[in-house]
Structure 1
Amino acid sequence: MSAGWSLWVMFLIVLNMGITFFLFLWGPRVKIPTLPDQTTGHVWAHGTIREAVRKLPLWWLLLSGAMFVIGAIYLVLYPGFGNHQGALGWTAHGELAKAEAANNARLDELVLRFREYPIEQLADDPAAQQMGARLFVDNCAACHGRGGYGNVKLGAPSLIDDDWLYGGSGKDILASIHDGRSGLMPPWASLGEDNVKNLASYVLSLSGSPHDAARAAAGKPLFATCAACHGEQGKGNPALGAPNLTDRIWLHGGRYEDIVRTIGGGRQGHMPAWNTRLSEDQIRVLAAYVYHLSHQGDAATRTTL
């Protein structure tokens, strides 16, 4: 802090400690007027409780005096008195650095072991799951939810099913987290409002969802425009991030109105790259945790570590 602010802080400390110390010395000696019964005359509870005057107990005086001494010693040893750095040279940054170094030392052994296994096998390791869960909450839960259920409003996919836009192998998930993903569904409002509604009905029919059969029949020829990305059968294309339209799993909602809005106005999604925030080892552990989320039911079929 600047010299001016330092002096101001020092002044406030001296003022507050000075006033408090004065009251501490003056309090035991002050004479309080009392009645013949040694009370002040103040009463509560309709006169059933009277305020008496007693000397402060010795233990309280000794304890309070010790606090002043401890406070003075603290200001000498630690920073707090303006720009005074403290005789011990203690700093919050230094304490944090020591704690991080100690934590990293404990993690090194785990991280070295984690590197020996593929993502799919690492997903079953309890220590990796615990570390991955913390990384997930800190970095992914804002969009995908704490439990990985996804968020339709944000277009963040659920991570607890086995439906993947860019592939669900350990390698695919690792690439998604490391490098990020960007998806674009172009708007097709140029087809006309009626055709967009017909096409939406046909898309619903692909998954066996309730739909208008007449509109679906009219929209089927129009799906050729969509097949370039989603495939002729609507099964999707992980290479492009085009979702499967036949499984009733919807990124932006599966109501008729939602699909009309998606086709007519298009959609754009962005999964940021985490390689600038997380280390390579952290990304591997996080990828293993995401893989674990979607394979919790078949963990017994995989080889455990």
Structure 2
Amino acid sequence: MSGFWSGWVMFLVVLNLGITFFLFLWSQRLQIPTQPDGTTGHVWAHGVLRESVRKLPLWWVLFSASMFVVGIGYLALYPGFGGYRGALGWTSIDQWQRDTAANNAKIEASLQPLGSMDIGQLSKNRTALTSGERLYLDNCAACHGTAAGGNQSLGAPNLVDDDWLYGHDSLMTSILDGRNGVMPAWAPTLGRDGVNEVASYVLSLSGVNAPADWVAAGKPRYEMLCVACHGADGRGNPALGAPNLTDSVWLYGRDFASVSASIAEGRSGVMPAWRGRLGEEQVRMIAAWLHAQGPT
């Protein structure tokens, strides 16, 4: 904090404390004019209610006075008075670091006995599943959903089915190092009619009815532009993260509009890398929990 802003904060603190303390003292000496019956003369509800004046109880006065002592003591011990760090040298950052370190130590101690287990064994361990579920909800559920069913609007895949873009054995790598899936936009090359024809052919591979003439015209276009990633039979390529086009699992939707949009405009899916935030042991807990939810 610069010297100017430190001084400005000090000024505001002293001003507010001074005004508040003055009003507190003034309220003890203030004499409010009253009627002979001890009321102010203010009446409500057609004279039924009358405003009386009584001194504040001593306990209230003493308690309020003690709050000024507490406030000044707080400013002396903790930061709050401009750039002054406080007699205790406490900071919120230091407190956060201490609490984080203590929490990490607890996590490491609870996970240490599980270090020798593989993911299959962890998926049957109650401690691992409890930790994995909590870690998943804290870090993954925003995109993949609380039940790990995915989100087509985000292009976040279902994590509990039997369809994996990068293969069943790639889960740890996907979480630790992230993924960048890119589907190029083919509208400039194919044009509107070409996009419709390729979309029809692609949908036909998974058993969806499409106009026969569009399917026939789309096949050679697919063979020219798409086989490099998705293969001649349309079954995809896990090494590239190219999806299987012959099943019923579609990352962005199986309807004609969604498939056409993917071909025309392309897709860019990003899975962030979690190695730096979670580390390998915590990622293993997440993988074990997902393994336990899945069909295999």
Query: Shift of the alpha carbon at 1:213?
Result: 3.7
Check the 8 A contact 1:173/1:291 in 2, yes or no. Answer: no
- Deviation track 1:161-220 (CA, whole Å, cap 9, x = no partner) reads 221100123xx1011112222223334443454343233222222222233344334434
Shift of 1:257: 2.0
Q: Deviations over 1:120-175 (max 9, x none)?
A: 33234343334334433443334333433323233222223221100123xx1011
After TM superposition, give the deviation of residue 40 of structure 1 in Å.
0.7
> How far is the alpha carbon of 1:240 from its aligned partner?
1.8
Question: Relative to structure 1, is the Cα distance of residues 124 and 49 closer, same or farther in structure 2, using a 3 angstrom cutoff?
Answer: farther
Mark the CA change 1:29 to 1:188 in structure 2 (over 3 Å): closer, same or farther.
closer
Q: Name the counterpart of 1:52.
A: 52
Q: Would you say 1:92 and 2:122 are equivalent positions?
A: no
* Cα distance in 2 for residues equivalent to 1:132 and 1:49: 64
Task: Give SS of 2:85's match.
Answer: coil
- Whether the 8 Å CA contact 1:167–1:238 is kept in 2: the answer is yes
TM-score by length of 2: 0.87
Q: Give the counterpart letter for 2:109 in structure 1.
A: E
1:180 alignment partner, one of 178, 181, 185: 178
Q: How does 1:283-294 map to 2 (within 5 A)?
A: 283-293=283-293
Gaps of 5+ in 2: none
What displacement does 1:53 show? 0.3
- Asked if the contact 2:176–2:279 (Cα under 8 Å) also holds between the matched residues in 1, the reply is no
RMSD (Å), alpha carbons: 2.5
- Equivalent runs, 1:131-142 vs 2, <5 Å: 131-142=131-142
Paired position in structure 2 for 1:61:
61
- Per-residue CA deviations over 1:247-294 (Å, capped at 9, x if unaligned) read 21111221112222222333333323233443232333333334344x
Partners of 2:115 and 2:242 in 1: how far apart? 32
Residues 107, 202 of structure 1: alpha-carbon distance in 2 compared, 3 angstrom cutoff: same
- Could you state the TM-score of these two structures normalised by the residue count of structure 1? 0.84
Deviates more, 1:52-61 or 1:231-240: 231-240
Deviation at 1:104? 1.9
In the alignment, what sits opposite 2:114? 114
Give how far 1:34 is off. 0.5
Say which is worse superposed, 270-279 or 187-196, in terms of deviation.
187-196
Give the match for residue 260 of structure 1.
260
Q: CA deviation at 1:243?
A: 0.8
Identical-pair percentage: 56
* Structure 1: segments with no counterpart, 5+ residues: 299-305
Counterpart of 1:235 in structure 2 is 235
User: Which whole-Å CA distance do the structure 2 matches of 1:13 and 1:192 have between them?
Assistant: 68
Q: Distance in 1 between matches of 2:62 and 2:109?
A: 51
Task: Give the number of equivalent residue pairs.
Answer: 294
